Amino acid sequence: MKKKLVFLIVSFVYFSIPHVSIAEEKNLFDSFFLIRSTDFLGSAIDKSELKGAGAVVIMPPTNDIDDIDLGDNFFVITQSSNILKGTVVKILDTCGHTNEVNCALLRLDRKIEFSDASESLLGVRGKYLSANAVGYLKKLPKNYAKKYLESIRKHLPANEEFYADEVISISLPNPKRTYDFISVIHHNIEEFKTAGDKADRWTSFLFIGSNKESKLLTKIEKLSSIIGITDLNGDGIYEVLITYNDSAYEVSYEIRLFDGKRISGTKRVLYYWMD
């Protein structure tokens, strides 16, 4: 009886986690790229031919620059979940202010207003991306997080201070479900006195709410923001672009999987930044 009970528990845990075969995962993850403003290139590149309607595709650390060809199509998901088409018009061996990555230049069918050179968007390479495959993200005022602070407090050490960093409403593409995503910056009070922001850590909380109550679905340490969400193959397991902070000076942009309850540890790093 005990063996059967253990088997049932293990089976429940296994099948409650997003599972995608290695081949499926590679095909999915290979479709995603990080998109930034042409300002990311600095002043060395002539961008006049784009007439402002351009962007940069950053090559993931594991990608070969030869994987991108002139004329390749990309679909860029904006902050308002609109989809813009871009075409590769130039391939650059190095780019960024420190020439730390390879990238390609996109000509877009419409202009994107980037807030700065580091603002990042999700790009999908290949065939047309349907609006039905794209989730909707809306940044909310940070004071919206007040309704969740009591619940968040229970999951952090008593000797820590914390405050909301990102507050985002998430609507999944299919079926329509809405979540509240709250990331908080927290630190040990005594450590912060000597280490400053080096003591900062990030933890995210995903809530599903109703008019009567809000339920905490999951929390993830070091996850600091969600930038984009899609369901490319319509299987109900979503691909999410997140930022993952090892510290205030180290962040990676990663594609992960989300089954509607948990964000998996399975990932592909699209870009890594360290100051």
Specify whether the CB–CB gap between 81 and 134 falls below 8 A. yes
CB atoms within 10 A of CB 255: 25
Q: Where are the domains of the chain?
A: 31-129, 136-274
From the candidate CATH numbers 1.10.260.40, 2.40.50.140, 2.40.30.170, 3.40.50.970, the one assigned to the domain spanning 31-129 = 2.40.30.170
Residue 159: CA count within 13 A, CB half-sphere: 5
What SS3 state is found at 195? Answer: helix
Rounded to two decimals, the pTM is: 0.86
Pairwise CA distance, residues 79 & 244, whole Å: 19
The pLDDT tens digits of the residues spanning 87-108 come to: 999 988 777 666 678 889 999 9
Break the chain down into helix, strand, coil percent, rounded to 5.
20, 45, 35
Residue 222 has pLDDT above 80, yes or no: yes
Predicted confidence (pLDDT) at residue 146 exceeds the cutoff of 80? yes
pLDDT digits (tens, 9 = 90+) for 110-121: 999 998 989 999
